[in-house]
Amino acid sequence: MNEMKKNSNIKCTVAQCRNNMVTEDYCCLDCIHVGTHEADPTVPECVDCNSFVRRTDGIMD
Ligand code: SF4
């Protein structure tokens, strides 16, 4: 079983992501890759966490 270690520097509420701590709103990766799907991003909705991995262990289902 993988040890999930909270990264206090990366706050995240995306519980559907395998890298999320879930019990607290933090990411467990050492670093994440943030990008955009827009040509000219203007608001927060334009940017994405590209380190997202869909949770498949059923915890959130
Ligand atoms: S990888 Fe991105 S979406 Fe997933 S928990 Fe970390 S910050 Fe959140």
Nearest to 28 by CA among 49, 51, 5: 5
**CA torsion through residues 38, 40, 41, 42, sign:** negative
Q: Whose CA is nearest to atom 6 of ligand 1?
A: 27
Which strand (E) or helix (H) includes residue 36? strand 34-36
pTM of the model: 0.86
In a domain, 61, yes or no: no
In a domain, 25, yes or no: yes
If one counts the domains in the chain, the total is 1
Tell me how far the alpha carbon of residue 50 lies from the centroid of ligand 1, in angstroms: 8
In a domain, 5, yes or no: yes
Q: Whose CA is nearest to atom 3 of ligand 1?
A: 52
In a domain, 15, yes or no: yes
Residue-level pLDDT, tens digit, the chain, 61 residues? 567 899 999 999 999 999 999 999 999 999 999 999 999 999 999 999 999 999 987 655 4
- Residues at CB less than 6 angstroms from ligand 1: 10, 12, 14, 17, 19-20, 27, 29, 32, 49, 51-52
In a domain, 43, yes or no: yes
Range of the domain at 36: 1-53
